[in-house]
């Protein structure tokens, strides 16, 4: 029995000193394995007289339970220590930014959109948005273009059937808007003057070459007040082109033009230098048309529910994609909508450079292009 006591102390001691799981397992096998000390003792029970057999058997069973308990306790301690060690060496700093940081790019059209909103926003314009699918009243009729008006042919319109079952009827059908000018009417319907809004958005015409795509982007501008004049239009757009091209001076000219919804109408040209390989805005003897504009036609004010004897105003429409091509030297419009990541990597902008009039508009001095 004394042997058993000292055996117990020794084994428990060994268990508690085991330095890792493997050493612990070796101890377990040496005690309770097939040829373990305890197993051997149990095997020896058979040779003992009955009473002794019972007494020793009990003791051995108690001993076995004690060993198991000690083994489990030690195992838990060792496993926790091992886990802590692992956690300490394998930590991940989740506060680190992702690499590479500037993988994503902002599309040039989105960039130009931001820039235009920043410029007009600072002048006090609000941004208005409207539907791409437009009825003919807003896209044409209310803009002084009744059915059969020859100006409707100026735009290659996509018509949508107004009903899936009835026969196609050109006059009743919807269109996908050919310009953002319908937003002039929608704004007048919802707002009382004074009005000062821009309406950026997608527009659609059946056209496809290096400078035309079936879907493109425009920004409409509309200002209506009691004393708004053509001089305001000129000043406003001059300030816009200077801010947009980030130049202190830029030659501009207003060329008489025709739009059914403005009278008088004009197109704005900016001075530039055109060579076979280069197009430089703000210098040289060439002119480049960049937008259409004019004083809102009295019929348009009437259609929008505004009294033309009391109010007057100006409107303009600019092609956003065109501006992007000019400002960032992108030669082919079709590439804008091909979703080629290599193109986007080359012409796109860092999402971290947000356009603002105070923080810098194009911001492309940094690592943006
Ligand atoms: N809607 C015209 C176009 O698409 C542009 C324009 C807008 C002209 C507003 C005058 C006034 O070409």
241-282 residue pLDDT tens:
999 999 999 999 999 999 999 999 999 999 988 877 777 888
pLDDT of residue 366 exceeding 50, the answer is no
Tokens coding 31: 């005690």
| Nearest alpha carbon, ligand 1 atom 2 | 317
Distance 296 CA to ligand 1 centre (A): 11
Residue 219: which residues within 8 A CB-CB, separation 6 or more?
Answer: 113, 116, 180, 198, 199, 200, 201, 317, 318, 320
Helix/strand/coil percent split, the chain, to 5: 45, 20, 35
| Beta-carbon count within 10 A of 287 CB | 17
The stretches of the chain forming alpha helices (DSSP H) are 2-17, 21-32, 37-44, 50-89, 108-122, 136-139, 182-190, 230-245, 298-303, 320-328, 341-347
Distance 239 CA to ligand 1 centre (A): 19
| Nearest alpha carbon, ligand 1 atom 6 | 317
- Report the sign of the C-alpha dihedral through residues 320, 123, 351, 359, in that order: positive
**Closest by alpha carbon to 219, among 206, 194, 236?**
236
Buried b vs exposed e over 224-244: b needs ≥16 C-beta within 10 Å?
beeebeeeebbebbeebbbbb
pLDDT tens digits, one per residue of 119-138: 999 999 999 999 999 999 99
Distance 151 CA to ligand 1 centre (A): 12
Predicted confidence at residue 284, as pLDDT, reads: 79
User: Measured from the CB, is residue 182 less than 6 Å from ligand 1?
Assistant: no
Q: How far apart are CA 343 and CA 340, in angstroms?
A: 5
pTM, full prediction:
0.71
pLDDT of residue 369 exceeding 60, the answer is no
- Percent pLDDT > 70 in the chain is 97
| Beta-carbon count within 10 A of 177 CB | 26
Q: In which region does residue 148 sit, left (phi positive, over 0), alpha (psi from -120 to 50) or beta (all else)?
A: left
pLDDT tens digits, one per residue of 188-235: 999 999 999 999 999 999 988 888 899 999 999 999 999 999 999 999
Atom of ligand 1 nearest to the CA of 291: 5
Q: How far apart are CA 271 and CA 249, in angstroms?
A: 10
Categorize the per-residue pLDDT at 102 as very low, low, confident or very high, splitting at 50, 70 and 90: low
Predicted confidence at residue 177, as pLDDT, reads: 95
Categorize the per-residue pLDDT at 2 as very low, low, confident or very high, splitting at 50, 70 and 90: low
Contact 183, 220 (CB under 8 A): yes
Distance 233 CA to ligand 1 centre (A): 14
What's 72's DSSP letter? H
User: Measured from the CB, is residue 313 less than 6 Å from ligand 1?
Assistant: no
């Amino acid at each position: 029995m004394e042997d058993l006591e000292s055996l117990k102390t020794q084994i428990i001691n060994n268990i508690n000193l085991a330095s890792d799981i493997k050493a612990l397992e070796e101890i377990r096998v040496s005690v309770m394995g097939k040829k373990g000390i305890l197993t051997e003792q149990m095997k020896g029970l058979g040779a003992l007289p009955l009473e002794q057999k019972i007494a020793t058997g009990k003791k051995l069973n108690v001993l076995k339970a004690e060993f198991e308990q000690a083994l489990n306790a030690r195992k838990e301690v060792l496993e926790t220590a091992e886990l802590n060690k692992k956690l300490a060496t394998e930590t991940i700093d989740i506060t680190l930014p992702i690499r590479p940081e500037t993988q994503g790019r902002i599309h040039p059209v989105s960039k130009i959109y931001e820039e235009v909103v920043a410029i007009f926003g600072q002048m006090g314009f609000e941004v208005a948005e409207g539907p791409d699918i437009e009825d003919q009243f807003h896209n044409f009729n209310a803009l002084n273009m009744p059915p059969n008006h020859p100006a409707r042919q100026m735009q290659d319109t996509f018509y949508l059937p107004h009903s899936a079952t009835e026969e196609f009827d050109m006059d009743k059908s919807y269109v996908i808007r050919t310009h953002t000018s319908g937003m002039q009417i929608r704004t007048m319907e919802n707002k009382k003057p004074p009005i000062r809004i821009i309406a950026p958005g997608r527009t659609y015409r059946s056209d496809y070459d290096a400078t035309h795509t079936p879907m493109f982007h425009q920004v409409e501008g509309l200002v209506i007040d009691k004393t708004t004049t053509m001089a305001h239009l000129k000043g406003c757009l001059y300030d816009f082109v200077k801010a947009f091209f980030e130049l202190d001076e830029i030659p501009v000219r207003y060329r008489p033009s025709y739009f059914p919804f403005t009278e008088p109408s004009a197109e704005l040209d900016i001075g530039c230098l055109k060579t076979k390989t280069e197009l430089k805005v703000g210098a040289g003897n060439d002119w480049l048309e960049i937008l259409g504009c004019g004083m809102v036609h009295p019929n348009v004010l009437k259609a929008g529910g505004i009294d033309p004897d009391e109010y007057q105003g100006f409107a303009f429409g600019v092609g956003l994609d065109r501006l992007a091509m000019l400002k960032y030297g992108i030669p082919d419009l079709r590439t804008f909508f091909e979703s080629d990541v290599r193109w986007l990597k080359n012409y796109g902008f860092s999402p971290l450079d947000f356009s603002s009039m105070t923080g810098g508009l194009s911001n492309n001095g940094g690592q943006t292009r």
